[in-house]
């Protein structure tokens, strides 16, 4: 039996791991639990995969599950022994781990369930129920932000109030406090979150109207951010992983995956037609009438892009558009589809936009040392000489092919969480 020290809630304790002669820690057994006596310091008996039994100096034996969510270490209480047996504790741990695999915080899920069971239609009850459902499709970081704003700014004032009795002036008073601190953007975010909770209450029959709608123009306008984009490599990796976990339609998921690889304008992506692609040559040729600058444009396709297009071809290849509308194959997906998908994944409009994939690629490729002329040509930015522009759609094509493949490989590495050392390319070294 191995014994180590530690700290629990500011109280020193001992950690006990059952270790046979071979040296590998064993899982807990019922005899070990029964035979462990209380001491003057708390003891931790570890079972594995985050589960342990806390034996207090007073003789209490509490099951705990230690886990990480949103980058923070948390503890979930699973009951007391022997009321909750070793087998039951393991089952509860496994249920919690299943929630974590689906990006759901077990502690918040339990809190929402308890409030729902209580039968009270308070603002906090409805908010937790709404949050429990929505957080299943959000990234953990966004979930943490949403619940923190509710718990910090809203629940203390109106959390216990019946949601159908809350008035617009009451909600405004909460937002005015945030505004007075100078956090205008946060005030707008909190108003938006509350509006979503009220609309959920209306949909579930617990409220008749959304008072946040009456506050239009009541707050100081927040400064809009132009073409929001994620350019920090570590955050780009998180975005790519969120896209991989997207729970929407396969067509939208493929569009999301191609957006960072191709970094074309959102309208160009959603209007893509199968007849414009030559997958054997790894090229997408966009006709002039579809381009903002009215000049034809060639997109070299990386191996990853070709693979995605071949994957979606059996589904939409018999139609005109690569990404057709969900309602009819005769029209492309709507201009709000990608934006809505980003919001559903938890990326607000001030953090990432559909156009932001272009800024992401431009920023990082420039930082990596790729020649500006090649990047600008790939972005299809306007050539000042309009006569030259009519003939330069294939300009730098060999170099652009190399850059697009290197960019796709770089994104793959970021998605996998690798430590990336950017490749600084010299203009003469392509």
Q: What is the pLDDT of residues 136-157, one digit of tens each?
A: 767 666 788 899 999 999 999 8
- Looking at 128, 355, 377, 415, which residue is catalytic? 355
Q: How far apart are CA 419 and CA 33, in angstroms?
A: 43
**More confident site: 19 or 371:** 371
**Can you read off the two tokens belonging to residue 64?**
């705990």
265 is catalytic: yes
Residue in 175, 187, 260 with CA at minimum distance from that of residue 222: 187
- Is there a catalytic annotation at residue 321? no
Return the percentage of the chain with pLDDT > 90, whole number: 37
**CA-CA distances (angstroms) from residue 280 to 284, 302, 303?**
11, 12, 11
- Mean pLDDT along residues 183-198: 92
Among candidate residues 68, 303, 391, 424, the one labeled active-site is 391
> Is 358 marked active-site?
yes
Q: What is the value of pTM for the model shown? A: 0.47
pLDDT band at 135 (very low <50, low <70, confident <90, very high): confident
Q: Out of 128, 149, 265, 377, which one is annotated catalytic? A: 265
400 is catalytic: no
The answer to whether residues 93 and 55 touch, using CB atoms and an 8 Å cutoff, is no
- Annotated active-site residue 424? The verdict is no
Tokens at residue 350, please? 């001030």
User: What are the chain's domains?
Assistant: 2-101 (3.30.160.390), 106-215 (1.10.150.130), 233-429 (1.10.443.10)
Checking if the pLDDT of 223 tops 90, the result is no
What is the average per-residue pLDDT within 170-186?
A: 90
Active-site position among 12, 160, 292, 294: 292
In the prediction, which pLDDT does 294 show? 65
Write the pLDDT tens digit of every residue in 29-43.
Answer: 888 888 888 788 888
Task: Say which of 294, 381, 386, 388 is annotated catalytic.
Answer: 381
Instruction: Tell me: pLDDT of 44 over 90.
Output: no
- Whole-angstrom distance, CA of residue 150 vs CA of residue 418: 34
Interval 255-277: pLDDT, tens: 999 999 999 988 899 999 999 99
Q: Return d(Cα 424, Cα 422) in angstroms, integer.
A: 6
CA atoms of 90 and 96, how far apart (whole Å):
10
Tokens 């992506």 — which residue? 269
Q: Is 355 a catalytic residue?
A: yes
Question: Do residues 70 and 143 lie in contact, with contact meaning Cβ atoms separated by under 8 Å?
Answer: yes
């Amino acid at each position: 039996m191995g014994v180590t020290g530690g700290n629990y809630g500011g109280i020193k304790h001992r950690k006990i791991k059952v270790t046979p002669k071979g040296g590998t820690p064993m899982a807990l057994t019922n005899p070990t639990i029964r035979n462990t006596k209380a001491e003057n310091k708390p003891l931790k008996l570890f079972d594995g995969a985050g589960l342990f039994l806390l034996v207090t100096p007073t003789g209490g034996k509490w099951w705990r599950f230690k886990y990480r969510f949103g980058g923070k270490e948390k503890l979930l209480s699973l009951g007391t022994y022997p009321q909750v047996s070793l087998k039951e504790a393991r089952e509860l741990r496994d249920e919690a781990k299943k929630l974590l695999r689906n990006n759901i915080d077990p502690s918040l899920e339990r809190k929402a369930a308890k409030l729902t069971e209580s039968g009270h239609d308070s603002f906090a009850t409805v908010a937790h129920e709404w949050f429990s459902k929505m957080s299943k499709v959000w990234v953990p970081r966004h979930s943490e932000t949403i619940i923190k704003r509710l718990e910090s700014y809203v629940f203390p004032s109106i959390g216990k109030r019946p949601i159908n009795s809350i008035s617009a002036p009451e909600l405004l008073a909460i937002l005015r406090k945030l505004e007075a601190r100078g956090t205008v953007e946060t005030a707008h975010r909190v108003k938006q979150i509350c509006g979503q909770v009220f609309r959920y209450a209306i949909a579930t029959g617990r409220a008749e109207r959304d008072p946040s709608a009456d506050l239009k123009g009541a707050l100081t306008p927040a400064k809009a951010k132009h073409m929001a984009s994620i350019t920090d490599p570590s955050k780009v990796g998180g975005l790519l992983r969120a896209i991989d976990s997207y729970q929407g339609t396969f067509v939208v998921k493929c569009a999301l995956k191609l957006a960072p690889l191709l970094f074309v304008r959102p309208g160009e992506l959603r209007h893509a037609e199968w007849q414009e692609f030559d997958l054997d040559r790894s090229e997408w040729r966009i006709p002039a009438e579809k381009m903002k600058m009215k000049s034809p444009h060639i997109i070299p396709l990386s191996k990853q892009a070709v693979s995605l297009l071949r994957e979606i071809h059996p589904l939409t290849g018999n139609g005109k558009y690569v990404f057709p509308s969900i309602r009819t194959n005769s029209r492309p997906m709507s201009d709000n589809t990608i934006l809505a998908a980003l919001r559903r994944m938890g990326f607000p409009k001030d953090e990432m936009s559909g156009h932001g994939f272009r800024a992401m690629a431009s920023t990082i490729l420039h930082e990596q040392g790729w020649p500006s002329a090649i990047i600008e040509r790939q972005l299809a930015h306007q050539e000042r000489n309009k006569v030259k522009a009519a003939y330069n759609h294939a300009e730098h094509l060999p170099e652009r092919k190399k850059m697009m493949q290197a960019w796709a490989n770089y994104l793959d590495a970021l998605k996998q969480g690798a430590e990336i050392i950017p490749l600084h390319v010299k203009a003469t070294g392509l």
